Chains A and B, each alone.
Chain A
Amino acid sequence: MSDAALGTNHSANNGAASEPLIAADGIPLKQKLAKTTRRMKMQAFLLTVPLVLFLLVSFVLPIGQMLYRSVHNPTGSNVMPNFAVAIKNWDGQGLPSEEIFEVFVKDMALARKNREVGKTIGNLATRVNYEIPGARSLFTKSARRAGRITEGPYKEALFAIDKRWENPHIWLTLQRVTKDFTAAFYLAATDQKYDEAGNIVWADELYQIYLPILWKTIWLSALITALCFIIAYPVAYLLSTLPLRTSNLLMILVLLPFWTSLLVRTSAWIAMLQTEGIINNIFVYLGFISDENRIQMIYNMTGTVIAMVHILLPFMILPLYSVMKTIPPSYMRAARSMGASGTYSFVKVYFPQTVPGIAAGTLLVFILAIGYYITPALVGGNDGLLISNLIADHIKKTLNWSLGAALGTILLTVVLIFYWLYNKLVGVDNLKFG
């Protein structure tokens, strides 16, 4: 399907006349028309206001907040406002000057007493710890003693607390983290980091987790989409061709899981697939496998794929069905009457007409799968986890919201890229969701 079939040719007819038409009372016709339709347009717009507001509050603002949070981290300037200003223009050569040290020690002493949320020394310690593992203890220890330093030289006093302050790299890092805007979280989300000299490098292979999980999420989503398509196509075809009574029954069978709670369905899969579960029991009973070699089908990738295919299947069947329903049987009959075999007619006549449904179904399933959270969390075990599970981890457990936001933004970007690719290949106006 290279281009849209319909309506490409009518623009030529309503080309503007050379002179504007005038209505009976002398006002230009276009103006007159706009005036008469303004009221209707206003009404139509007012009807959409609740939705616009809702979208703004529930969608646009959170996403904007997320995008902002993924690059904006004011911990440094919150905790040590004077130091953040002082070190901003340091040239990064050797160690900072005595004045900067003085500001640092004073800010640290102040921050230690600060109990305001987000402004304690602990916040900064955590932030620096992301960059330099072990820096947390250095900060808390030094902050405790910083209050006792009352006069210079501050540099030597600090060095006396801990030798690590003599390392220029820690000051480079501090300069970086006290800036309000940082790309550090995006680097972390793509398994990169600043090395001690401030260059962007790949993280140690051992710590590379996000990119592999992102790739896995993408190809698992593709696999789930493909499996859904293979299963859904014949079902949708049956649905669209069976007599109404039978197809209604089948439709209920398709929709029944749709109406059942997601948790119930996922738990049902646990009951089915676990090592002591129904399927393994049947296999053992039938002698396919021995009792010791029960198959691990859940709490791994297999479990995630099986459960997600099941859960996302209706999203593939319904768009396919709605498109197939509109293809009259006379097309296939016409192809047959012209001498085409059943297979040839299917490939050349039926299948191409279902493409809008295929496109809609695969897009829907893929996008849902790529951001799926609950099922992998329940049945995924360790190797069946997807990127959304990591995002949830950072939001709920490690409380590194900025990293979570960066990962979320990357996920959003991936989805948009796929959507753009899709639009190139299929054409979004060719989609038919129902």
Chain B
Amino acid sequence: MSAAGNQRAEEAFVRFDKVQKSYDGEILVVKDLNLDIPKGEFLTMLGPSGSGKTTSLMMLAGFEPATHGDIYLGGESINNVPPNKRGIGMVFQNYALFPHMTVAENLAFPLKVRKMGSAEIETKVQRALDMVELGEMGGRRPAQLSGGQQQRVAVARALVFDPSLILMDEPLGALDKQLREQMQYEIKHIHENLGVTVVYVTHDQSEALTMSDRIAVFNDGVIQQLSTPDDLYERPQNSFVAQFIGENNRLHGKVSGVSGDECKVELDGGGEIIAKTVNNTATVGERTTLSLRPERVEIEPKKGQTDNTVTGEIKELIYLGDHIRTRMEVAGNDEFIVKVPNSAGNKPLAEGAQVKVGWKAEDCRALDPMAI
């Protein structure tokens, strides 16, 4: 434990310091994880399956030992603290409500372990049930509850013993879309009201964007980017993040000139584009993948309104009410999506028509090259 590490650990409530994890001694599932989480934050670990996010959470919970590195909780290393001594509340993927106990008994479990008096247990259980609006359900068995109700019980059970840190492992994965969205807000409000620190694991990017203070995007055992939701969406630092968060148009090309934080890119499909260099990585002659959000593309832009103008062919139109989702072929990419707002006075589009599309240089980010 270095002195500097200790210093930082005291500022951060949860801290991963150079953590590595391997299950078989051959593959690192988590490679050099460094992450500081301040008290009261809602941090989401987002990534595809196998990216190491759940493993990181399990190491924090204490169910998996770190192969290398230290994990700190409140300034103390918890590497050798068993999970039951860590005082961390946890919500599991399938809720893990004990089927042989009633809801109230489930909630009382962590309190009984702590040898609280029965009167105190009763008030705490009732308070927790009221918090998730299941005040009357205490006598039921988990199997008699709907999925959403089970989910709330699981949250209440993780909170009932007042832990200062709650871990959630894809807790909404089993719910249908509408319920999932509702629960997202409920969990967010509980977090705001109680001020607990939450570490939340999900592979659903919209869930992450809705709920989090900050998001750590995992891929291949490494945090690709750690930032606020808007920052992640608007300013992805590499093509993985650009592709994983939100919808993204990719254009492949080669850097042909650099000036300040802008660069010229020669597209593989023909034409030259001005784009924003990210991390100053773009050097002349290097390949790059351009990332462009569909809603930042203009159809038939006025002259001077956009820095780049390219001609494309409309392949498919999908009417979605508030906007028309337009699939085009632009510079060799036939999955180029443009969201055309359904606003008054817009010219109707036709499939097969050639149209000009344009965008500003700052909306088009030149990122690391991605395999085509």
B302 at the A interface (CB under 8 A): no
Find out whether the CB atom of B99 lies under 8 angstroms from the CB atom of A5.
yes
Segment of B83-91, B200-208, B255-263 in the binding face: B83-91
B94 at the A interface (CB under 8 A): yes
CA distance A7 to B158 in the complex (A): 26
Segment of B26-34, B109-117, B232-240 in the binding face: B109-117
Q: Which label, helix, strand, loop or mixed, suits the secondary structure of the A interface?
A: helix
B144 at the A interface (CB under 8 A): yes
User: Which one of B94, B110, B114 has the greatest number of beta carbons of chain A within 10 Å?
Assistant: B110
- Residues of B286-332 at the interface with A, using a CB-CB cut-off of 8 Å, are none
A328 at the B interface (CB under 8 A): yes
Q: Which residues of A contact B89 (CB under 8 A)?
A: 337-338
Find out whether the CB atom of B98 lies under 8 angstroms from the CB atom of A6.
no
B61 at the A interface (CB under 8 A): yes
Flag A329-355 by CB within 8 Å of B: 1 or 0 each.
011011111111110110011001101
- The smallest C-beta distance from A427 to any residue of chain B, in angstroms, reads 13
Find out whether the CB atom of B96 lies under 8 angstroms from the CB atom of A338.
no
Find out whether the CB atom of A330 lies under 8 angstroms from the CB atom of B84.
no
Find out whether the CB atom of A5 lies under 8 angstroms from the CB atom of B109.
no
Provided the pairs A6-B141, A349-B98 are in contact, do residues A339 and B90 lie with their beta carbons within 8 angstroms? no
- Residues of B251-295 at the interface with A, using a CB-CB cut-off of 8 Å, are none
Find out whether the CB atom of B143 lies under 8 angstroms from the CB atom of A5.
yes
CA distance A335 to B98 in the complex (A): 9
Contact of B92 among A6, A333, A339, A352 (CB under 8 A): A333
- Residues of B62-103 at the interface with A, using a CB-CB cut-off of 8 Å, are 62-63, 82-90, 92-94, 96, 98-100
Find out whether the CB atom of A330 lies under 8 angstroms from the CB atom of B143.
no
- The smallest C-beta distance from B278 to any residue of chain A, in angstroms, reads 40
CA distance A333 to B98 in the complex (A): 11
Flag B189-202 by CB within 8 Å of A: 1 or 0 each.
00000000000000
- The smallest C-beta distance from A323 to any residue of chain B, in angstroms, reads 12
CA distance A345 to B61 in the complex (A): 16
User: Which one of B88, B99, B158, B167 has the greatest number of beta carbons of chain A within 10 Å?
Assistant: B99
Find out whether the CB atom of B100 lies under 8 angstroms from the CB atom of A337.
no
Q: Which residues of B contact A353 (CB under 8 A)?
A: 98-100
Report the nearest B residue to A2, measured CB to CB. Answer: B100
CA distance A341 to B96 in the complex (A): 17
A9 at the B interface (CB under 8 A): yes
CA distance A349 to B113 in the complex (A): 12
CA distance A330 to B90 in the complex (A): 10
B339 at the A interface (CB under 8 A): no
Q: Which residues of B contact A330 (CB under 8 A)?
A: 92-94, 96
A1 at the B interface (CB under 8 A): yes
Find out whether the CB atom of A333 lies under 8 angstroms from the CB atom of B114.
no
Contact of B84 among A1, A7, A336 (CB under 8 A): A336
Q: Which residues of B contact A340 (CB under 8 A)?
A: 84, 109-110, 113
Contact of A336 among B83, B141, B143 (CB under 8 A): B83
B15 at the A interface (CB under 8 A): no
B16 at the A interface (CB under 8 A): no
Interface residues on A, range: 20 to 34
CA distance A231 to B83 in the complex (A): 29
- Residues of B108-158 at the interface with A, using a CB-CB cut-off of 8 Å, are 109-110, 113-114, 141, 143-144, 157-158
Find out whether the CB atom of B98 lies under 8 angstroms from the CB atom of A331.
yes
- The smallest C-beta distance from B76 to any residue of chain A, in angstroms, reads 17
- The smallest C-beta distance from B27 to any residue of chain A, in angstroms, reads 16
Flag A50-70 by CB within 8 Å of B: 1 or 0 each.
000000000000000000000
User: Which one of B62, B89, B100, B158 has the greatest number of beta carbons of chain A within 10 Å?
Assistant: B100
Find out whether the CB atom of A333 lies under 8 angstroms from the CB atom of B113.
no
- Residues of A378-400 at the interface with B, using a CB-CB cut-off of 8 Å, are none
B42 at the A interface (CB under 8 A): no
- The smallest C-beta distance from A2 to any residue of chain B, in angstroms, reads 10
CA distance A328 to B169 in the complex (A): 15
Provided the pairs A333-B83, A348-B109 are in contact, do residues A339 and B161 lie with their beta carbons within 8 angstroms? yes
Q: Which residues of A contact B61 (CB under 8 A)?
A: 333, 337
Provided the pairs A328-B96, A330-B96, A331-B96 are in contact, do residues A339 and B84 lie with their beta carbons within 8 angstroms? yes
Flag A1-16 by CB within 8 Å of B: 1 or 0 each.
1000111110000000
Find out whether the CB atom of B94 lies under 8 angstroms from the CB atom of A328.
yes
- Residues of A294-344 at the interface with B, using a CB-CB cut-off of 8 Å, are 328, 330-331, 333-342, 344
User: Which one of A7, A337, A348 has the greatest number of beta carbons of chain B within 10 Å?
Assistant: A337
Report the nearest A residue to B142, measured CB to CB. Answer: A5
Contact of A334 among B92, B141, B143 (CB under 8 A): B92
Find out whether the CB atom of A344 lies under 8 angstroms from the CB atom of B113.
yes
CA distance A342 to B87 in the complex (A): 15
CA distance A344 to B85 in the complex (A): 13
Find out whether the CB atom of B84 lies under 8 angstroms from the CB atom of A341.
yes
Report the nearest B residue to A334, measured CB to CB. Answer: B96
CA distance A203 to B272 in the complex (A): 112
Contact of B96 among A1, A333, A339, A344 (CB under 8 A): A333
Q: Which residues of A contact B157 (CB under 8 A)?
A: 334, 338
CA distance A341 to B62 in the complex (A): 13
Report the nearest A residue to B86, measured CB to CB. Answer: A337
Q: Which residues of B contact A328 (CB under 8 A)?
A: 94, 96
User: Which one of A9, A339, A340, A345 has the greatest number of beta carbons of chain B within 10 Å?
Assistant: A339
Q: Which residues of A contact B100 (CB under 8 A)?
A: 1, 5, 352-353, 355
Contact of A6 among B85, B87, B143, B158 (CB under 8 A): B143
Q: Which residues of A contact B94 (CB under 8 A)?
A: 328, 330
Report the nearest A residue to B110, measured CB to CB. Answer: A338
CA distance A195 to B23 in the complex (A): 79
CA distance A355 to B98 in the complex (A): 14
Q: Which residues of A contact B83 (CB under 8 A)?
A: 333, 336-337
A-B CB proximity, top 6 nearest: A338-B110, A334-B96, A330-B96, A337-B90, A336-B83, A339-B113
Q: A333-B92, A338-B84, A353-B98 are in contact. List 7 more A-B contacts (CB 8 A).
A: A334-B92, A336-B83, A337-B62, A337-B89, A337-B158, A339-B114, A340-B110
- Listed A/B pairs (5) with beta-carbon separation below 8 Å: A330-B92, A333-B92, A337-B86, A339-B87, A340-B84
Chain B interface (Cβ < 8 Å from any Cβ of A): 61-63, 82-90, 92-94, 96, 98-100, 109-110, 113-114, 141, 143-144, 157-158, 161, 167
